[in-house]
Amino acid sequence: MRADFDLPVDLADLFERVTVNLRRTTDAECVILADISGQLVSVHGGLQEGDPATVAALAAGDLAAMAELSRQVGEENPSGSFLHEGKHKSIYLQNVADNFILIVVFHTDRLIGMVRLFAKHAAEKIQELAVEFEGLVSQPSMPPDTDFGAALADELERTFGEF
């Protein structure tokens, strides 16, 4: 399910494939991909309690807090992953290229090491897609064709020239 994030369709489909595959391989309850501000990019699965948009926003805040905490203790590169181990469910957060957050909600009977391994692999693929997305966004727009101005002036003259 695509959510509140505007991506080119083909690139969004690639993000979708990665998150669908991650959910399938980890048997997670829910996999959420959000941008660094917490805006949803992709959601697969569901949460029995809670809303994916709220989870994404809270994860973004958690990631920001952990980055600052890491800096406070002298960690030079504060990006990484974080794990919350609950009684029945756990949450794994992975910072991806400082632009995205990969969130995996899974039952505690799943092996944490497997979730980490598959999430890391998914994060690497997402990072490659993020580089592609950044390339699309940073491409300069094409300058208008000089003939466009002349054609527009001719059409305006022809349309409104009688007045």
Q: What is the CATH number of the domain that holds 125?
A: 3.30.450.30
Residue 104 has which token pair?
Answer: 């995996």
**Residue showing tokens 């958690």:** 62
Residue 147 exposure: Cα atoms within 13 Å on the Cβ side: 0
Over residues 134-153, the mean pLDDT reads 61
Q: Give the model's confidence band at 4: pLDDT under 50 very low, under 70 low, under 90 confident, else very high.
A: very low
What pLDDT digit, counting tens, does each position of 99-122 carry? 899 999 999 999 999 999 999 999
Domain membership of residue 3 (yes or no) is no
Report the number of distinct structural domains present in the chain: 1
What was the pLDDT predicted at 80?
Answer: 82
| Cα–Cα dist 87/126, whole Å | 30
> In whole numbers, what is the pLDDT of the chain averaged over residues?
84
Domain membership of residue 148 (yes or no) is yes
Residue 78 has which token pair?
Answer: 């504060």
Q: How far apart are the first and last CA of the chain?
A: 53
User: What stretch of H or E contains 66?
Assistant: helix 52-72
Q: Strand 40-45's sheet: what is its strand order?
A: 40-45, 30-35, 100-107, 89-96, 81-85
Rg (C-alpha) for the chain, rounded Å, is: 22
Q: Cβ contacts of residue 133 below 8 Å, gap of 6+?
A: 7, 8, 11
Domain membership of residue 2 (yes or no) is no
What was the pLDDT predicted at 139?
Answer: 56
Domain membership of residue 1 (yes or no) is no
pTM score, whole prediction: 0.77
> Domain containing 54: what range?
9-160
What pLDDT digit, counting tens, does each position of 42-87 carry? 999 989 888 999 999 999 999 888 888 888 998 877 678 889 999 9
Q: Cβ contacts of residue 46 below 8 Å, gap of 6+?
A: 29, 30
